[in-house]
Amino acid sequence: MSTPEDCLFCKIIAGEIPSTKLYEDDRVLAFRDVHPQAPLHALIVPKRHVATLDDFDADDAALVGHLLLAAKKLAAEQGLPGYRVSMNVQRAGGQVIFHVHLHVLGGRPLKAELG
């Protein structure tokens, strides 16, 4: 697990590593994924370091909701008629960077992913 001091996304938030910002407010930052899987592939991260979804508690409900509303706003600003929002949780769930982040994908028809 990463700490804020060695976290890639914390460094992006701090401006130490460049990114292509797509949206920002006082609680979250959205930027383009460097390995896009769709014409628009953004990552939305809370500005506060939280390693995984499992580290949120009931006091974080407003921030969790804000992440989803930021995805909605970003998709609207980008003119997406439809989009996918996903989050990988823990290493076994595909999480690679241990700072909570939503993936927002769109800009082309997306196939349904069924188990």
Query: Do 59 and 115 touch, CB atoms closer than 8 A?
Result: no
State the Cα torsion 60-63-65-71 to the nearest 10°.
-150
41 is catalytic: no
Compute the radius of gyration of the chain from its Cα atoms. Answer: 14
Which residues on neighbouring strands pair with residue 40, listed in sequence order? 106
Check 49, 99, 101, 103 and give the catalytic one.
101
Distance CA 82, CA 15 (A): 30
Query: Catalytic amino acids?
Result: 101
